[in-house]
Chain A
Amino acid sequence: MSHPSAAISGGKNRRAANDPLWLQSLLISLSLGFVGLMLVLPLSIVFIEAFRDGIGAYLKSFDDSAAWEAIKLTVISSAIAIPLNLTFGLAAAWAIAKFDFKGKSLLITLIDLPFAVSPVISGLIYVLLFGLQGWLGPWLAAHNIRIIFAVPGIVLATIFVTFPFIARELIPLMQQQGSDEEQAALSLGAGGWQTFWRVTLPNIKWGLLYGVILCNARAMGEFGAVSVVSGHIRGKTNTVPLHVEILYNEYNVVAAFAMASLLALLGLVTLAAKTYLEWKVQQELQSSLEPSSAEA
């Protein structure tokens, strides 16, 4: 995972390459070929297959109420997960970056946990907790609360797989920025919240946005974890990725790729935003590193 806040380019190697021309051509062609084959081709296929039978067929895929329900559910779970994860990310980054305490690395490892865990397991643990045969299953059934195979389960699984993104982006960023400005604000009489709103937030806004974009992309696109907890009930507990799966398995190829094209579009927008924001964050960090010392 590229980390704009961790990669401050030293620019040391922006000099002319000293490799022979034939080698350069070979390596460049191999690179282009590899990436073209592995990345560009699959991406293009999505759109090609979606529009294979023309625009009419493409648009007809969205004539389906189940499709719209899926879109709605995807957007809702994202809309719930992101603010919660945002709050978490800010809180965790503040605690970790501005203070010194024992167990910090353990905490950071815990935050990184979802990245190390297979999406299927991410869904499994919620089934084991809330499912009918799970820990809290009987209690939930008695109170007629459905979490697994219902929307809350999907939201929970989504939160699990996406909460690290914002925190992981903010923690190194805030660590690198230090707490001088906050201390200055406090010395000038500002309270804790005032300091946070007026001084800390403006400084991290690009990194924050970056984290939110990544969080959103993953939330909307999550498949494995959501698949486990959702129950695949058409029109009720299907997100867009799950709906794509259903359509594909029914050999409804055009419709499947049409839905997939929405996600692919989201992916491209995410990539573009990501690249732009990475550049912005690098700019921020450059300016906070070197005070100039020219004339008085």
Chain B
Amino acid sequence: MSLASSLSAGERTSVSRWLWFNRIRFKQHSVLPGFGLTMGFTLLYLGLIVLLPLSAMFLRAAGLTPAKFWEIISAPRVVASYKLTFGASLAAALVNSVFGFIVAWSLVRYRFPGRKILDALIDLPFALPTAVSGIALCAIYAKTGWIGQYLHPLGIKAAFSPLGITIALTFIGLPFVVRTLQPAIEELDGETEEAAASLGASRWQTFLRVIVPSLLPPLLTGFAMAFARALGEYGSVVFIAGNQPMKTEITSLLIITKLEQYDYAGATALAIVMLLASFVLLLAINVLQWWTGRAYHKQ
């Protein structure tokens, strides 16, 4: 204020003009108060909780030479865990895509007793702690378990095998496909189906040519989300897996093992690989959602 008053009117005019031209346009001026306070707190929180710990990790990784880094992440045991984790997650996501579609379709299009309860139950994997689902699934599929006892004579080993891991990952990813498809199926314009029918298309043709193309983006999004979630899953899997190195050891467990052996460098290197995979998937999901947004022209 004092600088302003010590200048003459003419000087003030040119100074304010200069300031006006040179200020950085970060935020549109708004009439609502509280931006500074809320933004400041938000950034502080994020900085302390997210950015600081993350940078600790990257710093640790930076301490590794590229050669050492490669050595760690390409060790046979580690690679075996990649294959297992990736393969099981993929399989689980595929199962969830197929059945998730069926479930979503039934929930939206059909009326049957128990529909509302079914709808609410879909979110169970979100609400149930992973440790609980972990031991529950183990109890079901173990040799003496409810289902396991019938599979064992058939030679199918459900628990302590990749199959068991896949089953656990299917549980975890179930809501994703269903929940991304439901609003999309609801949005489907019944009239376009009626138009197709009036033009002579059979139900199957209508399904293939009219319905599936518009449902493909959300289906892919749900698939990618289930896949991403499965890659990082720990609690539900670790009980039913058996955790045998090279056979039934998932990558997240391997990270913990290395930590327990104080191999911080090894744990960090693996974590970075997993993060990279997550980010690639996150990117893919965002692209898919952008594509979906365009395809639907939401208001």
Is B193's CB under 8 angstroms from A18's CB? yes
Is A91's CB under 8 angstroms from B140's CB? no
CB under 8 Å from chain A, chain B span 56-109 = 56-57, 59-60, 99, 102-103, 105-109
Is A257's CB under 8 angstroms from B59's CB? no
Is A196's CB under 8 angstroms from B42's CB? no
Q: Interface-forming stretch among B3-11, B12-20, B118-126, B151-159? A: B118-126
| Contacting residue for A28 out of B50, B106, B189, CB 8 A | B106
Q: Interface-forming stretch among A61-69, A138-146, A201-209, A259-267? A: A259-267
- Chain A residues with Cβ below 8 Å from B274 are 118, 121
B35 within 8 Å of A by Cβ? yes
B34 within 8 Å of A by Cβ? yes
Chain A interfacial residues counted at CB < 8 A: 104
Query: DSSP class of B's interface residues: helix, strand, loop or mixed?
Result: helix
CB under 8 Å from chain A, chain B span 33-62 = 33-35, 37-39, 41-42, 45-46, 49-54, 56-57, 59-60
Nearest neighbor of A248 in chain B, beta-carbon distance: B135
Is B129's CB under 8 angstroms from A125's CB? no
Is A117's CB under 8 angstroms from B28's CB? no
Is A87's CB under 8 angstroms from B41's CB? yes
| Contacting residue for B171 out of A19, A38, A125, CB 8 A | A38
Q: Provide the A68-97 mask, 1 if CB < 8 A to any CB of B, else 0.
A: 000000000000000000011011101100
Is B42's CB under 8 angstroms from A129's CB? no
B282 within 8 Å of A by Cβ? yes
6 more A-B contacts (CB under 8 A) besides A39-B122, A111-B46? A1-B175, A35-B118, A100-B30, A135-B56, A183-B31, A275-B120
Please give the residue numbers on chain A whose beta carbons come within 8 Å of chain B beta carbons, in ascending order.
1-2, 6-7, 9-13, 15, 17-20, 24, 27-28, 30-32, 34-35, 38-43, 45-46, 49, 87-88, 90-92, 94-95, 98-102, 107, 110-111, 113-114, 116-121, 124-129, 131, 133-135, 156, 159-160, 163, 179, 182-183, 186, 191-192, 195-196, 214, 217, 220-224, 227-228, 241-242, 244-245, 248, 253, 256-257, 260, 263-264, 266-268, 270-272, 274-275
